[in-house]
Amino acid sequence: NAGVTQTPKFQVLKTGQSMTLQCAQDMNHEYMSWYRQDPGMGLRLIHYSVGAGITDQGEVPNGYNVSRSTTEDFPLRLLSAAPSQTSVYFCASQQGAITGELFFGEGSRLTVL
């Protein structure tokens, strides 16, 4: 199993550009989520999904869209990138029950100029 795979690992954008961060998991997990981590800080939840076709907002959803058309994939879209979105983005998945552990990807480092 590859676990949670994120692409790209690094990306530089100009203000106003759009892009999609990809996240895929091969563990058949129901729950998937996106976090961002700014320098020296903990992770903050952007969006999450409890199953295919179901998404919800987290702590910092503004400027981001998500969709969950399949169990495996949970892409994060930036429609109009802003310098404030410069961060490291982590995708995570979990089997489903509250006591399940989260499995994180290796992160995608995004810089918006």
Partner 1 sequence: DAKTTQPPSMDCAEGRAANLPCNHSTISGNEYVYWYRQIHSQGPQYIIHGLKNNETNEMASLIITEDRKSSTLILPHATLRDTAVYYCIVRSYNAGNMLTFGGGTRLMVKP
Query: Among residues 26 and 56, whose Cβ is nearest to partner 1?
Result: 56
Taking the C-alpha atoms of residue 25 and residue 4, their distance in angstroms, rounded to an integer, is 4
What's the alpha-carbon Rg for the chain, to the nearest Å?
13
Nearest to residue 76, comparing CAs of 22, 27, 35?
22
Q: Which 70-109 positions form the footprint of partner 1 (CB under 8 A)? A: 88, 90, 92, 94, 98-99, 101-107
Q: Which 35-74 positions form the footprint of partner 1 (CB under 8 A)? A: 35, 41-45, 48-50, 56, 58-59
Query: Among residues 35 and 81, whose Cβ is nearest to partner 1?
Result: 35
Query: Among residues 63 and 107, whose Cβ is nearest to partner 1?
Result: 107
3-state secondary structure of 73: strand
